[in-house]
Chain A
């Protein structure tokens, strides 16, 4: 029988993780951005800054465009947040400490990632405005390109475990972490992870070159929810990366939860630093790299790790 937490505990745990995770992403973004730009960092700004920005967005006046698809526009941030919650619920903090451990955890996680493109497309399509629509089309191209390398890179982690369950994927890394056994997996996963939550160099749908892209027409609480959902998805990507490639709860001296949190924060810092250090990639180039470079590399990764197991 597989592990499932009770609904009350699941809601509480996932909700708490999302709120804390989103706040940590906002703080890290401020700190890393300040470091890169050599700005002076004040504790007051680091700790209270995200709350102040959020409060500002909550009281901001809502703007709207002409003839919108209102249900779709309202649904998009909620769907995105729900997908981030689904992904987070699958990540185990310890051998028995997981909200949901279905037999097909890897497939559920992939389905959540695949539905992000629906949320982003809906978010860009429904305001009935040109720049958001451009962003939506860009993300469609981006998402269809990263989907296959993502699936292949994650699938390779299921091979040593001989299971699609995330808990068993982590449990199978006791002797060696997947980042050692499959050195190509983590880099591919991180590139794709940036693309999934459209962060930094791969923020093509919401980029500044489109005046905010799919969220160009967002204002007030809708903008806050969209940004929060995006940050929550980044946390889910980092946590799943720590579980799938960095050995999850395995590690000497410290307890499993501490290791899991440390690895997640390390990957988060890496992803957020990439956002501040790397220039934005053009969508054409990303599509070509995904199909011509990432898919063959992911296939090599899966063949090599499969051959070692024979």
Chain B
């Protein structure tokens, strides 16, 4: 098989694979499976990026998504009253609106493929694409990326602070404490035990 033919076959495998697994995200009945289907979809998009010559971006997408999807699966399971995500559940709410929104969004994005005037002169694959990307990231675009990075970091810190304020044993600033372990100290009516 020639190299061009192989690239074509791989492109269609990744393209169809990403759409099918993306569809399965909403049709499966488990949060963990949904997260892993989404991961498969992202990995296929990463494969397409590699085919386009953006080797570094494609591989980094695949690398980052593994951790992110696992964290997402665990956090979803933690917030839902569904032990370990093993019980079947619907992955969509408000079915009609969800279907309509999904179809409209897909058509809007897919129409770009037909409406945009793509350049028809193929560019030679750059020899040092990774190096060029690095010089771009730490050169002209450094301010943009550093700003985005700091904004994301502060968002993460803020989310943790907001989410952890109210713990299992009360609000953190009011001093939440675990109930004592000795049975005679526990008030059976469920009120706070007085020290």
Partner-B contacts on A (CB < 8 A): 69, 72, 102-104, 107-108, 110-111, 114-115, 117-118, 121-122, 125, 128, 133, 137, 140, 143-144, 147, 164
Contact = CB atoms under 8 A, between A and B. Distances in A.
A66 B32 CA distance: 18
B84 A133 contact: yes
Contact of B59 (A104, A118, A144, A147): A104
B86 to A, nearest CB: 6
Contacts of A128: 86
B70 A140 contact: yes
Interface residues of B, number: 25
A171 to B, nearest CB: 17
Interface in B56-115: 56, 59-60, 62-64, 66-67, 69-71, 73-74, 84-86
Nearest to A120: B70
Contacts of B32: 125
Nearest to B86: A128
A114 B65 CA distance: 9
Contacts, number: 58
A147 B84 contact: no
Given A69-B33, A117-B67, 15 more contacts: A72-B36, A103-B55, A103-B128, A108-B59, A110-B63, A114-B64, A114-B67, A115-B66, A117-B66, A118-B36, A118-B39, A118-B69, A143-B67, A144-B67, A164-B56
B130 A118 contact: no
Given A102-B55, A125-B84, A107 B66 contact: no
B66 A144 contact: no
Contacts of B84: 125, 133
Contacts of A69: 30, 33
A111 B130 contact: no
